Amino acid sequence: MIALSGITKRFGDHTVLDHIDLELERGEIIVVIGPSGTGKSTLLRCINFLETPDEGQLTVGDLNLDVTRATKQDILALRRRTAFVFQNYALFANKTALENIAESMIVVQGMAKAEAHHRAREILERIGLADRADAYPAALSGGQQQRIGIGRAMATGAEVILFDEPTSALDPEWVEEVLGLMKQLATERQTMIVVSHEMQFAREVADRVVFMDGGRIVEQAPPDRLFTQPDDERTRAFLRKILASAPQPDV
């Protein structure tokens, strides 16, 4: 189980996250939506201490942390249970696709290089990039780079994968291949928290959609209910705006 209790983050006098409470069970998929600047990405970054929360409690599996007392060892243990997929890929430019996936297994998990490379080739096969094992990021499309980023997260065996707007930096032609891989993970019941503006993906994949505004969780519900019968006017206004701007299918 993943649980956040009272998670608060401030930048100076500005409160970005205001006492966030959120729980998800193993295998659950949550998609977080909301206006830009409302704290969605900061929430993900606080879960694995890319940003240090100012208040609150974090539970990931059997690890329980008071964020104000977390030691370096606590944070390392937390990061071993979580994996992060960045919107700008964050691959090592001087390493091949295979090496990017293998790196965390070697450095963090202490796996032998040969074993890590064998595992990385298995993951490349799963994500449809076995033929690009020796390619460097500069030779890969944006969609391929993001799939490598997801493959790197898969390699950690993390209890939860955190996706920070994974398609926002992609050209439209590459979005579907990344979403397709995420849908594959969803069918395997990989626990995921996804910050995304892809409403159709949220409808199809999420067990629960969380709407945030002003650094708070306004409401959360299964997608069928939240998209059709939201309780809060802020949710309704956001959905009217975002759905009105979505591309319409060809007829």
pLDDT of residue 110: 87
Q: Is the pLDDT of residue 76 over 60?
A: yes
Integer Cα distance of 76 and 48 in angstroms: 9
Neighbours of 18 (CB within 10 A): 16
What distances in angstroms separate CA 188 from CA 10, 28, 200, one per listed residue? Answer: 36, 11, 19
Neighbours of 82 (CB within 10 A): 25
pLDDT of residue 251: 36
The long-range contacts involving 142-145, CB below 8 angstroms and separated by at least 24 positions, are 142/89, 142/169, 142/170, 142/171, 142/174, 143/170, 143/171, 143/173, 143/174, 143/175, 143/177, 143/178, 144/97, 144/174, 145/89, 145/91
Q: Is the dihedral of CA 188, 189, 191, 192 positive or negative?
A: positive
Taking residues 176-184, report their average pLDDT: 92
**In sequence order, what are the residues at sequence separation of 6 or more whose Cβ sits closer than 8 angstroms to the Cβ of residue 84?**
44, 45, 48, 50, 153, 161, 162, 164
Q: Is the pLDDT of residue 160 over 60?
A: yes
pLDDT of residue 250: 45
pLDDT digits (tens, 9 = 90+) for 29-46: 999 999 999 999 999 999
pTM > 0.85: yes
pLDDT of residue 249: 45
Residue corresponding to tokens 């969803």: 186
For the record, the structure tokens of 98 come out as 């295979």
**Among 94, 104, 86, 85, CA closest to 138:** 94
One of 3.30.565.10, 3.30.530.20, 3.40.50.300, 3.30.70.100 is the CATH number of 2-92+161-244, namely 3.40.50.300
Integer Cα distance of 170 and 161 in angstroms: 20
pLDDT of residue 243: 79
Q: Is the pLDDT of residue 248 over 60?
A: no
**Among 2, 72, 21, 36, CA closest to 164:** 36
φ/ψ of 64, rounded to 5, equals -120, 125
pLDDT of residue 246: 60
pLDDT digits (tens, 9 = 90+) for 135-157: 999 999 999 999 999 999 999 88
Confidence of residue 204 (pLDDT cuts 50, 70, 90): very high
Q: Give the start-to-end residue ranges of the domains of the chain.
A: 2-92+161-244
